[in-house]
Amino acid sequence: MNAAIITIGDEILIGQIVDTNSAWIAENLNLLGIKVDEIVSVSDDSSHIKNTLRRYEGNKELIIITGGLGPTKDDLTKTTLAEFFDSELVMNYEVLSHIENLFGERGIKLSEVNRMQAMLPAKCRVLHNPSGTAAGMWFERGGSVFVSMPGVPYELKDIFSQSLLPELHRVNNGNVIVHRTLMTQGVPESLLSDRIKDWEDALPDFVKLAYLPRPGIVRLRLSAIGESSVQLKEILEFEIHKLLHIIDKDVFSLEDTTLEKVVGDLLIEKAHTLATAESCTGGSIASLITSVPGSSRYFKGSVVAYDNLIKEEIVNVKGDTIRKYGAVSQQVVEEMSRGVLDLLKADYAIATSGIAGPDGGTAEKPVGTIWISVSSAEKTVSKRFLFGEHRGRNVERTTLTALNMLRKMILGID
């Protein structure tokens, strides 16, 4: 079954709000084996809405529409759908009773405007909205199913989960889509693609690979479509097993999760603690670590040693080391990691020092030169990187690379 998603609202088109509904709908349709071919946003204009519906009618088996179902005059979707399907609006007393109960529970007087929310096209099948006043609507015509739901995210999700899902199971052709995701760090997309080319070329026709990159991270998503989810899962497991023989050291998770969560879980498992001394990352590593609930179990704290004086007086870097080698050097960053390890009495420590940019570079140390060090009581590992000229991406790459270096040290991966 193929589908299109239409989001309605001028507020989306002018950038006032971000359309998160489409992503959520697409993800959940995909889990049902329904392939989303297109996502489009249109204005609160009746002719634009109708033209878009005409374009999809008969070409898409499922058209999902969100937005424009509120009680105010700028919400045109309901009346436009009534006109499109040559249907009059009639009072749905079951919906009206639900609206009256909602207002009664909240101690609010029901206005005529809210009462009119129960006026629905006679030709639609009503999809109950347990959380609000705008009912969902189901139409069928020209070989297509049209579903309209409100744009309020929690209302949309409740209608989808409680009312729409059983109907979609009924009309879907039975195919399922199974996904598996591998998370990699430190290997650029182009290099990763080259390394796994032979494996990718040998994948079965019904298995597709998608590269989903961001600075420092590449997600590899495998998708398989067929009739048996059990069989598809077995096939994906077999393919992943082969892939890990090629890129095992670069994969930090076999599910779609974050590196900071993976590192946190490892520290909890080992009952170990962590501290950071950050210069060029300015606390970014500490921020990611503490974004994970429960990080107080393993994170001791951080020193943002941006100034050389702080490196010396707080983190215990020798002044002679800075003067001889410069703040952005292997010697300084190693002293930073060992210093904060001792200062905060942690089991592991991360330190960063670099030239994030856009200025400050030299011929010897260009913008994007980064040193990262990871220390334990027994060992210190450091490495130099050249991440490029974009300050924000340099900080992000440094942060993720540092966490992955820590992960490898904890696991004993060279």
What is the spatial distance between Cα 30 and Cα 2, in angstroms, rounded to a whole number?
Answer: 10
Both 11 and 119 in one domain: the answer is: yes
Both 236 and 214 in one domain: the answer is: yes
Both 143 and 203 in one domain: the answer is: no
Whether the pLDDT of residue 68 is over 80: the answer is yes
With CA atoms as reference, report the closest residue to 11 among 93, 86, 74: 74
Residue that finishes a domain, picked among 171, 195, 217: 171
Both 246 and 372 in one domain: the answer is: no
Both 316 and 237 in one domain: the answer is: no
101-140 residue pLDDT tens: 988 888 888 888 889 999 999 999 999 999 899 999 999 9
- The CA angle 351-354-360, to the nearest 5 degrees, is 155
pLDDT of residue 173: 64
Residue that finishes a domain, picked among 223, 253, 283: 253
pLDDT of residue 276: 98
Average pLDDT value for residue range 375-385 = 97
With CA atoms as reference, report the closest residue to 148 among 65, 79, 92: 65
To the question of pTM greater than 0.85 for the whole model, the response is no
Q: Residue 265 is part of a domain; what is its CATH number?
A: 3.90.950.20
Average pLDDT value for residue range 310-316 = 97
Q: Which domain holds residue 340?
A: 259-411
What is the spatial distance between Cα 25 and Cα 20, in angstroms, rounded to a whole number?
Answer: 9
DSSP symbols for 239-302: HHHHHHHHHGGGEEESSS--HHHHHHHHHHHHT--EEEEESTTTTHHHHHHHTSTTGGGTEEEE
Both 241 and 271 in one domain: the answer is: no
Q: Residue 104 is part of a domain; what is its CATH number?
A: 3.40.980.10
Q: Residue 249 is part of a domain; what is its CATH number?
A: 3.30.70.2860
Both 155 and 7 in one domain: the answer is: yes
122 in helix, strand or coil? coil
Whether the pLDDT of residue 337 is over 90: the answer is yes
- Please give the tally of structural domains in the chain: 3
Residue that finishes a domain, picked among 121, 151, 171: 171
pLDDT of residue 394: 95
What's 323-345 look like in SS3?
HHHCCCCHHHHHHHHHHHHHHCC
140-176 residue pLDDT tens: 999 999 999 999 999 999 999 889 988 887 787 667 7
Both 161 and 21 in one domain: the answer is: yes
Both 163 and 192 in one domain: the answer is: no
Q: Which residues of 389-398 are buried (b: 16+ CB within 10 A; e: fewer)?
A: ebbebbbbbb
Average pLDDT value for residue range 318-345 = 98
9-67 residue pLDDT tens: 988 999 998 999 999 999 888 878 888 999 999 999 999 999 999 999 999 999 999 99
Both 195 and 163 in one domain: the answer is: no
Both 191 and 156 in one domain: the answer is: no
Both 234 and 165 in one domain: the answer is: no
